Amino acid sequence: MKKMLVAIALAAVATLSLAPVGGLAQIGVPGPNVIGVYTATDATARAHRATNPGTFDVYLVVTNPTATAGISGWECRLEMLPAGILTLINTAYAGQALNVATPPEYAVGLASPLPRNDAVRLATLTFFASATTPANIYMHPITTPSQPGDMIYADGANPGIFYRLEWSSGDEALPVFGVNTGPLVPPIPNDEDTWGGVKNLYR
């Protein structure tokens, strides 16, 4: 009987650690090799930004890259939905960068690698919001990706080695950034509970 209760308790803890809050998917998992749009260069402000009509800056950041030599190039494509609310008006690249695509599509090479860090800023993006209507930013692989189906960055020591980038939202179908949307759901931490706390679930 004791063994069965322990098994049930362990299963309950595992379920708690995986269950989304309010039935919503996890948003904003920070690395490794995760790319997202943030309001802070250290990728700490990853929920949303409420703004009046006008311009605002956000940052395209890779968190916890596993390439020890840094980042010598990167690829991704942004999509703003619904159309007509958010317009990308400027991209200021980190490092000596050349984008052979047209923003909001990026196929960027760098003259020298961006150093590895917990949060590597790839670019500062300036958007114009035409209304206070909710809008979201999504990320996708570029039209003709170097690695089929993937957003990538290139190794700082060997640009021929690619690392797959994951979405900060956890999924291509989920927005990485919202404007006037209300808060996007933050990452869900593992719940650490005591044995007494687990027993109380069954009372």
Peptide linkage before 82 cis (omega within 30 of 0)? yes
Q: pLDDT value at position 180? A: 86
* CA–CA distance, 203 with 199 (Å, rounded to integer): 7
- CA-only gyration radius of the chain, Å: 20
Angle at 198 between CA 30 and CA 2, to 5 degrees: 125
Model's pTM, two decimal places? Answer: 0.75
200, pLDDT greater than 90: no
Q: Tell me what percent of the residues of the chain surpass a pLDDT of 90.
A: 63
pLDDT of 16 strictly over 50? no
What are 83-103's pLDDT values in tens digits? 999 999 999 999 999 999 999
In this structure, the chain runs to a length of: 203
- Nearest residue to 80 (alpha-carbon basis) of 33, 27, 153, 129: 129
Q: Which of 9-13, 67-71, 116-120 has the lowest mean pLDDT?
A: 9-13
pLDDT band at 44 (very low <50, low <70, confident <90, very high): confident
Q: Which residues of 146-158 are buried (b: 16+ CB within 10 A; e: fewer)?
A: beeebbbbbbbee
Question: Is the domain 27-187 a CATH 3.90.1580.10 member?
Answer: no
- Position 145 scores a pLDDT of 98
Question: For the chain, which residues make up each domain, given as ranges?
Answer: 1-19+188-203, 27-187
Closest CA to 122 of 90, 93, 154, 142: 93
Q: Token pair for residue 129?
A: 């919001």
| Structure confidence by residue, pLDDT tens digits, 132-188 | 889 999 999 999 999 999 999 999 999 999 999 999 999 999 999 998 887 655 443
